[in-house]
Amino acid sequence: MYFKQLTTEGLGCYSYVIGCLAAGEMVIVDPRRDVQEYFDISREEGMKITKVINTHVHADHVGGEQELRSIVGAELMIHENADVGYVHTPIAEGDSLTVGNAKLDFLYTPGHTPNAISILVTDIARGNEPWMILTGDLLFVGDIGRPDLPGNEILDEQVANLYDSLYNKLGNLPDYLEVFPAHGQGSLCGKGMSAKPSSTLGYERRYNPMLGFKDFDSFKKKVMESFPSRPKSFTHIINTNFQGAPLLERCPLDRAMNPEKFRQMIDNGCTVIDVRDAAGFGGFHIPGSINIGLEKQLANWVGMAVEPDSDLLLVVNSRQDYDRMCTELHRIGYDRIFGYLHGGISAWLLAGYPVESLAQKSAEDLRRAFEEKKDFVLLDVRTPAEWQNGHIQGAIHKPFAQVLDEGIDVDKETPIIVMCGSGYRSNIAGSSLQSNGYRNVCSLAGGAIAWARSGFKLS
């Protein structure tokens, strides 16, 4: 049996290739939208891609099943409760699939979504008992899937399903089974996932805090305490996956634009994402643009800061940065990418068009501002947990997602210094505030990390 776990950096997604070299056939589970790596495996290992299985309708990334069917004619499979709008083979509890020496048995395990399955995988060449289980978004390493994404109207039902799937359905399986989830660290489909990509059922039963409750009521109380932020992109991604994602070749063409054309597109309502680092954006940027730098989890931040149906323009340092950003955006269904500014911000400046700055204040600058009793607001946009672990005396706290959704109750002429953990989120939030009319916004360079390392206290 052939088995390989593939990681989508930034989104914390795992997909899987299961196949048999002797049979020359392979199945892909939970594919991402950019599918070249699966074709590379197919070619190098001599296995034809025959089937694609989704463990559920995903909320945090657009699936690659439509691309795979379009190119190789793969059969698409998903649970019978998933009322998807594309041709597929429904999976039911107790169904199985054999691919050479690999046998896949399907379990219905709702809770994260009402249409979720887990897959028991057996290597027939080694024995007749399952070797591993692909748990989708039911069970992660160190955590479990969140039940709130399908909507509040079925939340109680989802929590009950989650408990039943974890404690009863998986509870009947042996400790030795290796656990391979659909997500790991960086995903917003859970709260506290480990960076470790796999585990065993026995280890999770012993050390996963969500598997240690003695009754349903105590489990439900803990589950309902809080849920991670829900990006704006999630509803769009869910709808896209239900309908079947458009093929990438049908998305608007990539193109470089001169400053004049770029400005025309902005005037027509396009949203500008500037992917440069904080210092570059802070120096000069196009008015109204949002700074979302090229870091690992940028797709999550895009999903919180930008509406999914936006027409997008990009400011980048290179064509390579543009191509990478397009890949990240396509993975979460942001397909309306119309091009990038040829020549970058320098071309914009040379054209004589207006620019703004987002000043980067150092920890020492902030200390001096406190000492001199300057009139300003220090806005901390970190999570409640980060705030509770230590914050700067005198700061006001409003989490990042709430600032983006609701704004802040501060006069638009008041000087504002935005801070986060490292300076990344504060630049996004600061640029968002600027685009909404706040004229005197700065960002704390290095955030709470720089403040603490400079010898100043967090209370």
Residue 202 lies in a domain: yes
Residue 284 lies in a domain: yes
Please give the pLDDT value at position 297: 86
The token duo for 367 is 């200390």
Nearest to 261 by CA among 347, 172, 144: 347
Nearest to 12 by CA among 58, 77, 79, 66: 58
Helices (H), 151-277: 155-163, 201-207, 216-223, 233-243, 259-267
The token duo for 163 is 């408990």
Both 84 and 175 in one domain: the answer is yes
Amino acid in the structure at residue 453: R
Residue 458 lies in a domain: no
Residue 319, domain CATH: 3.40.250.10
Domain final position from 304, 326, 350:
350
Domain final position from 299, 325, 350:
350
Residue 141 has a CB neighbour count (10 Å cut-off) of 25
The token duo for 235 is 């509803």
- For 221-267, how does the pLDDT look when each residue is reduced to its tens digit (9 = 90+)? 999 998 888 899 999 999 999 999 999 876 655 589 999 999 999 99
Both 22 and 157 in one domain: the answer is yes
Antiparallel, parallel or unpaired: β 102-108 and 117-123:
antiparallel
Both 226 and 264 in one domain: the answer is no
Both 332 and 439 in one domain: the answer is no
Residue 16 lies in a domain: yes
Both 50 and 169 in one domain: the answer is yes
CA separation (Å) from 22 to 42, 48, 49, 123?
A: 13, 11, 14, 13
Both 281 and 430 in one domain: the answer is no
Residue 178 lies in a domain: yes
pTM passes above 0.85 = yes
**What phi and psi values does residue 59 have, to the nearest 5 degrees?**
-110, -20
What percent of the chain shows pLDDT beyond 90? 90
**Domain total of the chain:** 3
Residue 84 lies in a domain: yes
Q: Give me the residue label for tokens 């027939």.
A: 124
401 by DSSP, 3-state: which? helix
For every residue of 257-320, DSSP letters joined together read E-HHHHHHHHHTTPEEEE-S-HHHHHH-B-TT-EE--S-TTHHHHHHHHS-TT--EEEE-SSHH
Please give the pLDDT value at position 262: 96
Domain final position from 350, 374, 404:
350
157 CB-near residues (< 8 Å, 6+ apart): 114
Both 31 and 56 in one domain: the answer is yes
Please give the pLDDT value at position 199: 97
Nearest 5°: the CA angle 64, 302, 10 is 60
C-alpha dihedral, 292 to 297 to 303 to 304, nearest 10°: -70
Nearest to 112 by CA among 167, 62, 153, 57: 57
Residue 282 lies in a domain: yes
Instruction: Going residue by residue through the chain, which has 459 residues, state the pLDDT in tens, using 9 for 90 and above.
Output: 999 999 998 888 999 999 999 999 999 999 999 999 999 999 999 999 999 999 999 999 999 999 999 999 999 999 999 999 999 999 999 999 999 999 999 999 999 999 999 999 999 999 999 999 999 999 999 999 999 999 999 999 999 999 999 999 999 999 999 999 999 987 887 777 888 999 999 999 999 999 999 999 999 999 999 888 889 999 999 999 999 999 987 665 558 999 999 999 999 999 999 999 999 999 999 999 999 999 988 999 999 999 999 999 999 999 999 999 999 999 999 999 999 999 999 999 999 999 999 999 999 999 999 999 999 999 999 999 899 999 999 999 999 999 999 999 999 999 999 999 999 999 999 999 999 999 899 999 999 999 999 998 888
Distance between CA 172 and CA 165 in Å, rounded?
10
Both 181 and 269 in one domain: the answer is no
Cβ neighbourhood burial of 33 (10 Å; 0-12, 13-18, 19+): buried
Residue 243 lies in a domain: no
Both 286 and 375 in one domain: the answer is no
438 lies in which domain range? 359-453
Distance between CA 263 and CA 230 in Å, rounded?
32
Q: Please answer whether residues 437 and 412 qualify as being in contact, where contact means their C-beta atoms are separated by less than 8 angstroms.
A: yes
Both 285 and 223 in one domain: the answer is no
H or E stretch covering 65: helix 65-72
Distance between CA 107 and CA 402 in Å, rounded?
38
Please give the pLDDT value at position 11: 87
Please give the pLDDT value at position 248: 87
Both 364 and 310 in one domain: the answer is no
59 by DSSP, 3-state: which? coil
Residue 142, domain CATH: 3.60.15.10
Both 141 and 117 in one domain: the answer is yes
Please give the pLDDT value at position 186: 78
